[in-house]
Amino acid sequence: MGHEASKTKQIMNDYERSLLTGDGIDIGCGLDPIMPSAKPFDMEDGDANIISQFVSKQFDYVFSSHCLEHMHDPKTAILEWWKLVKKDGYLIFTVPDEDLYELGYFPSLFNDDHKSTFTISKRESWSDRSHNLLELVTSLPESELIKIEVQDTDYDKSIQFHSVYSRDTAYNLINFVRKFSSIFQALGIRDFVASSLSKLFRLPIDQSHNDALAQIFVIVKKV
């Protein structure tokens, strides 16, 4: 996932954008910080699993786009991130939705550094590393959940093929297609070919690679 923060910001409403004011930090921002003024925190700055050991101040907002899934223990990590939020401040973050992004496969076919999958709230999940975000965020002390929603802008559910193959077979098929992706891209038909092959072979595809969103968006206020 390359520029998910920018894609998220583009669909934020005026109220949500207004929360990104004052003193902020963006955890795992890479080259795509949510705001130019936000303090960037990435791997070169320390370990986001234990961020309070590297950042000692609190912020009006703590933002993170697609970083929590890389943490060793999301429950512990999010408590660490919560320590950085001022009273009346906000924790705003996104994670991949397991049914839109992982598509029934874990370890992830599209990012082998993902250590967990996420859903808003399901009785059961196909993933043995699944976390219910509703439980996760409502367990934060002195918290008020402002918003939690699946965001699937530009996501094509007609090619949302879920657990059709074994993971090894799906992985090999995807890698076979990837070998030719540079040729398809040079011809300007990569997206068309990927979509066509996905429909033909019921092949899982990472739609977030382009403009689509396949994520869960969360806002929590510290009260």
Question: Would you state the structure tokens that stand for residue 167, as one six-digit string?
Answer: 């993971």
The Cα 77–Cα 86 span in angstroms is: 17
Contact 21, 60 (CB under 8 A): yes
DSSP state of 135: H
Mean pLDDT confidence for 126-141: 97
DSSP H helical ranges for the chain: 4-11, 14-18, 74-82, 133-138, 167-179, 181-186, 190-201
pLDDT given for residue 2 in this prediction: 60
- Name the residue among 56, 58, 78 with its Cα closest to residue 67: 78
pLDDT given for residue 1 in this prediction: 47
pLDDT given for residue 185 in this prediction: 75
Question: Would you state the structure tokens that stand for residue 188, as one six-digit string?
Answer: 């300007």
Kindly report the backbone phi and psi dihedral angles of residue 99, in degrees, each rounded to the nearest multiple of 5, phi listed first: -85, -20
**188: region left, alpha or beta (phi > 0 left; psi from -120 to 50 alpha):** left
pLDDT for residue 190 is more than 80: no
Q: What is the tens place of the pLDDT at every residue in 83-128?
A: 999 999 999 999 999 999 999 999 999 999 999 999 999 999 999 9
Q: What are the angstrom distances between the C-alpha of 160 and each of 98, 102, 126, 205, 219?
A: 12, 10, 16, 8, 27
The C-alpha torsion from 189 through 194 and 195 to 198, rounded to 10°, is 160
Q: What is the tens place of the pLDDT at every residue in 197-211?
A: 889 899 999 999 888
What is the maximum span of the chain, computed from C-alpha positions, in angstroms? Answer: 54
